[in-house]
Amino acid sequence: MDVRCSIPATTILAAPPPQAPILAGWNSLPLYYKMGNVGHMDFTHRVSVPPPEPFFQAMKASTKEMFFPDDPFRRFKGQSARRRAVLAFQYVFPIMEWAPTYTKEFLKSDLIAGITIASLAIPQGISYAKLTNLPPIYGLYSSFVPPLIYAIMGSSRDVAIGTVAVASLLMASMLGKEVSAAAQPGLYIHLAFTSTFFAGLFMAALGFLRLGFIVDFLSHATIVGFMAGAATVVSLQQLKGMLGLQHFTNETDLLDVLRSVFSQSHNWRWQSAVFGCFILIFLLLSRHISKKRPRFFWISAMAPLISVILGTLLSYLTHSDKHGIQVIGSLKRGVNPPSVSELTFSSQYLGLTVKTGIMTGIVALAEGMAVGRSFAMFKNYQIDGNKEMIAFGMMNIVGSCTSCYITTAPFSRSAVNFNAGCKTATSNIVMATAVMVTLLLLTPLFYYTPLVVLSAIITSAMLGLIDYKAAIHLWKVDKADFIVCIVAFLGVVLRSVEVGLIIAVAISVLRLVLFIARPRTSVLGKITDSVGIYRSVSQYPTATRIPGILVLQIDSPMYFANAGYLRERILRWMDEEEDRLKASEEDTLQYVILDMTAVGGIDTSGISLLQETRRNMERRGLKLALANPGTDVLVKLVKSEFVDSLGQEWIFLTVEEAMDNTDGTECACRVSVPPPEPFFEAMKALLKETFFPDDPLRRFKGQSAGRRAVLALQYVFPMLEWAPTYTKEFLRSDIIAGITIASLAIPQGISYAKLANIPPIYGLYSSFVPPLIYSLMGSSRDVAIGTVAVASLLTASMLGKEVSATTQPGLYMRLAFTSTFFAGVLGFMVDFLSHATSVGFMAGAATVVSLQQLKDLLGLERFTEETDLLDVLHSVFSQIHLWRWQSAVFGCSFLVFLLLTRYISKKNPRLFWISAMAPLISVTLGTLLSYLIHADKHGIQVIGTLQKGVNPPSISELTFSSQYLGLTVKTGIVIGIVALAEGIAIGRTFAMFKNYQIDGNKEMIAFGMMNIVGSCTSCYITSAPISRSAVNFNSGCKTAASNIVMATAIMVTLLLLTPLFYYTPLVVLSAIITTAMIGLIDYEAFIHLWKVDIADFIVCVVAFLGVVLWNVEIGLIISVALSVVRLVLFIARPRTSVLGSIADSEIYRSLIQYPTATRIPGILVLQIDSPVYFANASYLRERILRWIDEEEDRLKASGEDILHYVILDMTAVGDIDTSGISLLQETKRNMERRGLKLALANPGKDVMVKLVNSTFVDSLGQEWFFLTVEEAVAACNFLLCKTCKPPEITKSTTIDMDDAHSNV
C-alpha cells in the first residue's frame, strides 16, 4: 500500500490535544508522506477574481470589520424580541448578567477583597488628591461614587476603581499652567471637575462610536517609558513634602525641580526628612516581602494604611505640626456633595478643560484597559473593550457631577483585588461602602496625618512603576520600540508629562507611516531541494536564484506614500541583478516576478506604479509577472484594466507556477533565523533603505579618487554628464523648443504673477533665473521651468490672510520671497500627496482660480479676498450693476479663441504649436487692440508700466522676523509640496515616454536650489508647469538646454520689450489663466477613481470640496490628513481571512477569493495581511477570538469534529513589535485554556529574530513553527490521527532552532 495515499490532506481523525513528544513522530516522517502526491502534479491554477461587491454592501462589510471586530450583535441572532431586550440590558449593564448566579461563596470572597482594597484606597486616595493639588477629601470622594457605577456597567471581575498617580499629576500639570490651585482654589476645583467630565465624555464616546482603536496608539513601549518618566517626576515632586519645604516650583521637569530643591537647601527640615525616610523604608520593605512571598500580598496592601495610622498617632503624640512637619488638617465629614453646578463651560477655559480631559482620559483609559485585560487573561475570560470604555466614561461623567476627579483602574489596587481572591465587581461595592463609612465617621481622625507620610506612600507606589526590566527587554527585542520608550521617558522628565506623551505617540505613529512609506522588499530564491518553495535570500542564504529571472517580494500595501520609493527600489533591484548576472557571465535578465502575497491593499497611485513599471520593463526587453494578488488588489487591477494590459496569462497563483518549475523534488525545510545584526550596522542598513532606495553611491564603488570626484560633480550637476556628448542636432531641436516655450512662458508668467497678487514683472523674473539653475542641476530632459497657477494662488491665499498686497506691497513681496526660500528648503514631503489628492486638489484649485478671473472678465474694481465658492459668487452677483460689458466681450472673445486652439491641438497633436503660440498671439492682439481703441478709457484695465532690466537681487529682502516666521514657513512648506509634486510627476511622465529615468532626489535638490536662488533674485515659487512642459516635449527638446534658450528669450524681453506690455489688458491675462485652468479639471480621472477605488474617490472629492468650499490650504490639509488616516487605518484594522485548500492542490488561499477552497476540519488557518504592531494588537486579539468562536459554532452546527488547531499564516506579517509579541503570547495562553494549539507558518526574517529574542519561540515550542501552511496542516493532520504510526525517520520538516538560539 502506498503510504502517501493512507492519509489524504483532508482526512482528520479525532484525537486528544497533541503533545510535543507525539509531534516528534511527525518530525520523523519523510516529506512524501506529509505532502502527498501534489509535488508530482503538473498543472496551473487560475487566479480567482471574485465578483464585484455592490458599493453599499462593501461599505457595510468594511464598517463592520472596522468598528465591530468582536461582532457584538452575534448574540442577538435568532432570539425572540423579549430575549433581545434582556440581552441588550445585560450588554449595557453586565451586573444583570452575573447577579442572578451570584453565590454566598462569591460574596465571602468579594467581602474580603473589598475590605482589603479599601485599606489601600483610603491612604492612596488622600495622597493622589494632594498630587492633583486638590483638597484630600476629594480623593476619598473619588473612591466612593465611581466604583459603584463601574460595578454596574463594567465587564471586568478584577479591577478596583480609584484615582491614579499619573493622571492626577497630568491634570495638575495641565491645569496649573493657567490657574493656580493656591491662588484660585475654587476655580481650580471647578476646572478639575469639568476636565473629568470631558474625560468621561471622551471615553464614553469612544465606546459608543466604537473608536477604541484610538487608545491603541499608546503602544507598550510608549506606556513603559511614559509611566517610568511620570513616576520619576512624581517622586521628585514629593521632595517638597519629604524635606518640609513651604514653597516649590509648579514645573514638573527635572531641572526646575532640582533647582527648586537645592536653591532652598537652607530650608530643609531634618525632622520631616527622617520621618519620611522611615515610612518610605517601611513601605518598600513590605513591598519586598510581598514580592518574594506572593501569599503575603496583604502586607504591602495594608502597609499604606498602617503608615497613615502610625504616622497620625506619632504626629498627635509628639505635636509634630509644631516641629515643622505639616499635617492634613480638617477633613469635611459626609458623602460626596453634588457638583453639577460647578462644571465650567465658559469659553475662557473651555479649550483648557477639553484638552486636559482628552489627555487624562487617554492615559486613564489606556491604564485601565491594560490592567483589565491582564487579569482577565489570567482567569480565562474576555472583557469587552467598548463596554469598558463606556463604563469608564460613565463613572467619570457621574463622578464629575458628584465632586470626583479622574478615576480609572490603578494597577496596584487591582492587583491587590485580584490576589485577595475577588470573584466579581461586587468587591468595588464593598470598597465603596468602606469609604462611605470613612467619610461619614472617620474623617476627623486624619487631622494629624503628616503630609510627609502621604509623600512616602506616593513615592513607594511610583517606584513600582519604573520597570527597568521592560526597558532592557525592549532593547533586546526591538530597538525601535526601545527608542520610543526612551523618548517618552526623556520627554516627560525633561519637558513635561503631556509633551512626553505627545512626542512618544507621534514617533510611534511615524513608525507606522514609515512602514508604509518605506516597505521592505526582498529577493526570493528557491529553497534547496524543495517543492517550489521560494523565500527571502537574506533569511535563507542557501536559497538559489534562478538565472534570468528576478523574484521580488513586497511586504506592504502599495499606496501613494510608497509608490515613489517602490519605483526606485524595484529599478535598483533590477540594475543590481543585471550587474550580478553580467559579472558572473550568466544569462541576461528576462523576467521579473512580483510576489504580491503581502500586498494587502492597493490604491490608484500603486496601480500607476505597476503600469509604469510594466512599461519601463518592456522598453528594457523584460517581462513582468504577478504572483498571488489578493482579493481587493486583483479587483482593482481588473477595474483599472491593468490585467488586460499586462495579459491575464502573466498573473499566477504562486511563485512556483510563475517560474513553471514544478519539478516534484521533496525535502525537509527548516525555518531560518538569521544571526542578529550589530545595532549600528542594522541602523545603517535601515537608514540606507529609508533615505537612499536608489543607492546613489553605487556608481562610486571600485572607482579611483579622480573618477569619484568627476562622478560626484556629475551627480550634483547632471549638465556635466550630458554636455560632453551634446551635438548640433540637439542644439537645433533645443533652440526650436526653447523659443516655442518662451512664447508661452511670457504671457503665462505675467498672468500667474497677477494671480499671486504681485507685480507682473516678477512673473518674468521667475522665468529667467530658475530655468538656468535647473538646466545645471535637473535630471529631466523635458520639463520647462516657470511659475504655476496653483502655487501662485496658494501664495496669495496664505500670505493674504495676514498681509495685504494692496496696502503693504513691500512687505508682501518680502514675505513672498521668504516663502519661496522656505519652499526650496522644506519641500520634501511630496510622497504624501496621493494621485487622488492631486486630482481633486488640482480640480478644486482650477475651479477657484477660474472663478477669481471673473473680477477682470467682468471689469470689477473690487473683489473679495476669499477664495471659497460662496464668497466669490456673492462678490460677483452683489456687484451686478458694476459689470462692464466691454470687458466681458473682450475677455470672452479671447477665451473662445484660446479654447478653440486647445481643441485643435488636442484633436491633431502635430499642431501642438497652435495652442502653444495662442497665449502670445492673444497678448499681442489684445495689446494692439487696446492701444488702438484706448481700451483703458472704456473700463478695460491694462498692465501699465513694467520695469526694464533683469532680476535685481533680493537677498536683503528675505524676512526671518519672529512675527512672520511661522507664516512664511507654513506657506513655504505647502507651496513647496504642491510645486514639487507637480514638477516630479510631470518629469517622470515624460521620462517614461522617452525610456530614461529621472532621479527623484536630484529633482528635489534641483527644484529646491532653483527656488532658493530664485528667492535671492526677485523670483517667487517655480516648478515645472504641465502646459509649458508638454509644449517643450512636443517641440522635440533633447536636453535641459531648451530651458537656457527660454531663459535667454526672457532676458531679451526684460531688457528690451517690457514697455510693449503697457497696454496689455488684464482681461486677456484672465482668459489665458482660465484656459489653462480648464485643462486641470480632469473629470475622466474622477470617473476612473470611482470605478477603481471608492476610498481614493472619496479622498479626491474631499480635496475638491475642501478647496472649493473653504480654501486651498484647508482642502489640501484635509485630503492629505484623510490619506494618512487611511494608511494608519490599514495598520490599525488589517485584513484577516480564513484560508482553505484549493482543490487538487496543497495551496491554501482565502475562502473569500476562492469560495470553492475547502476548510480543514478541526484546523483553522488564518492569514494576517499586515505587520503586527501596537496599533492593531487589540483589534487582532478580538478578531482572532471571533474567528475561533465562529469556527467552533460552525463545526458544532454541522456536527463536524471540534476545533483542535489554529494556524497563523505569517507570510504577510512584515514586522512585529513588542505589543504584537504580547498579542501572540496572550493568544497562545488563551487558546491553551480552551484546549487549542497554536502554530505559526512562514514567519519572516525580522519577525523570527524578535520572536526568538523575546523567548516566544521557547514558550510556544520550536516544533510549532513551519515553513509553509501546507506543512503545518499536514503536521496537525498527523497528530489528529490516533492510529497512524510513522515509518522510519530520515529528515525533519519542523523547525529546529538550537543553532538559531546559540546565534541569537
pLDDT greater than 90 at residue 761: yes
pLDDT in tens, 1020-1041: 999 998 888 888 888 889 999 9
pLDDT greater than 50 at residue 606: yes
pLDDT of residue 371: 84
Cβ-count burial 524-558 (b if 16+ within 10 Å, e if not): bbbbeebbbbbbbbbbbeebebbeebbbbbbbbbb
More confident residue, 589 or 1124: 589
pLDDT of residue 355: 94
pLDDT greater than 60 at residue 19: no
For cell 473569500, the residue is: 1152
pLDDT greater than 50 at residue 1302: no
Enter the DSSP assignment of 1039: S
pLDDT in tens, 650-703: 888 888 888 763 333 333 344 444 455 565 666 566 565 555 655 666 677 778
Least confident segment among 30-39, 752-761, 1033-1042, 1217-1226: 30-39
pLDDT greater than 90 at residue 134: yes
Other beta carbons within 10 angstroms of residue 691's beta carbon come to 9
More confident residue, 1027 or 133: 133
Of residues 779, 783, 785, the one with CA closest to residue 717: 779
Q: CA torsion, points 1180, 1183, 1184, 1188, in degrees to nearest 10?
A: 170
pLDDT in tens, 790-804: 899 889 988 988 998
Hey, what's the cell of 825? 528648503
> Which pLDDT band holds residue 749 (cuts at 50, 70, 90)?
very high
Q: What percent of the chain has pLDDT over 90?
A: 27
pLDDT in tens, 334-357: 999 999 999 999 989 999 999 999
Q: At what angle do helices 962-993 and 1026-1034 cross, to 10 degrees?
A: 30
**Spacing of C-alpha 126 from chain mean position:** 40
- 1252, containing H or E segment: helix 1245-1253
CB-based burial label for 188 (10 Å; 0-12, 13-18, 19+): buried
Q: What is the mean pLDDT of residues 564-577?
A: 86
Q: What is the mean pLDDT of residues 1177-1181?
A: 85
pLDDT greater than 50 at residue 280: yes
Other beta carbons within 10 angstroms of residue 8's beta carbon come to 11
Contact at 8 Å (CB) between 1220 and 1177? yes
Hey, what's the cell of 734? 533645443
pLDDT of residue 662: 31
Q: How many CA atoms lie within 13 A of 401 on its CB side?
A: 9
pLDDT of residue 1301: 32
pLDDT in tens, 892-926: 999 999 999 989 988 888 888 888 888 989 999 99
pLDDT in tens, 832-850: 667 888 888 888 888 988 8
The pairing of beta strand 651-652 with beta strand 623-627: parallel
Of residues 72, 112, 111, the one with CA closest to residue 90: 72
Average pLDDT, the chain: 83
Three-state SS letters, 1057-1115: HHHHHCCCEHHHHHHHHHHHHHCCCCHHHHHHHHHHCHHHHHHHHHHHHHHHHCCHHHH
Can you tell me the distance from the alpha carbon of 762 to that of 433, in angstroms, rounded to the nearest whole number?
Answer: 78
pLDDT in tens, 439-484: 999 888 888 888 888 888 888 888 877 888 888 988 888 888 888 8
pLDDT of residue 69: 64
pLDDT of residue 1098: 87
Q: Where are the alpha helices (DSSP H) in 960-1059?
A: 962-993, 1000-1015, 1026-1034, 1041-1052
Can you tell me the distance from the alpha carbon of 234 to that of 171, in angstroms, rounded to the nearest whole number?
Answer: 12
Strand partners, 526: 534, 544
Hey, what's the cell of 475? 532593547
pLDDT of residue 152: 94
pLDDT of residue 9: 33
Cβ-count burial 1138-1161 (b if 16+ within 10 Å, e if not): bbbbbeebbbbbbbbbbeebebbb
Enter the DSSP assignment of 408: B
pLDDT in tens, 1249-1296: 889 889 899 899 888 999 889 889 988 888 877 434 443 333 333 333
> Which pLDDT band holds residue 1300 (cuts at 50, 70, 90)?
very low
pTM to 2 decimal places: 0.75
Q: Where are the alpha helices (DSSP H) in 626-766?
A: 631-639, 642-646, 655-659, 679-691, 705-716, 719-722, 728-755, 761-765
Task: List, edge to edge, every strand of the sheet that includes 651-652.
Answer: 534-536, 521-526, 549-554, 591-595, 623-627, 651-652
pLDDT of residue 926: 92
Q: What is the mean pLDDT of residues 93-107?
A: 90
Hey, what's the cell of 576? 543590481
Other beta carbons within 10 angstroms of residue 1199's beta carbon come to 6
> Which pLDDT band holds residue 48 (cuts at 50, 70, 90)?
low
Q: At what angle do helices 728-755 and 1041-1052 cross, to 10 degrees?
A: 60
Can you tell me the distance from the alpha carbon of 405 to that of 403, in angstroms, rounded to the nearest whole number?
Answer: 7
Given its phi and psi angles, is residue 575 left (phi above 0), alpha (psi -120 to 50 degrees) or beta? alpha
Q: What is the mean pLDDT of residues 968-973?
A: 91
Contact at 8 Å (CB) between 384 and 70? yes
Hey, what's the cell of 35? 505532502
Other beta carbons within 10 angstroms of residue 1290's beta carbon come to 10
> Which pLDDT band holds residue 387 (cuts at 50, 70, 90)?
confident
pLDDT of residue 47: 59
pLDDT of residue 29: 42
The pairing of beta strand 591-595 with beta strand 534-536: unpaired
pLDDT in tens, 202-230: 999 988 887 766 777 777 888 888 888 88
Contact at 8 Å (CB) between 859 and 887? yes
pLDDT in tens, 1199-1232: 877 899 999 999 888 888 888 998 899 889 888 8
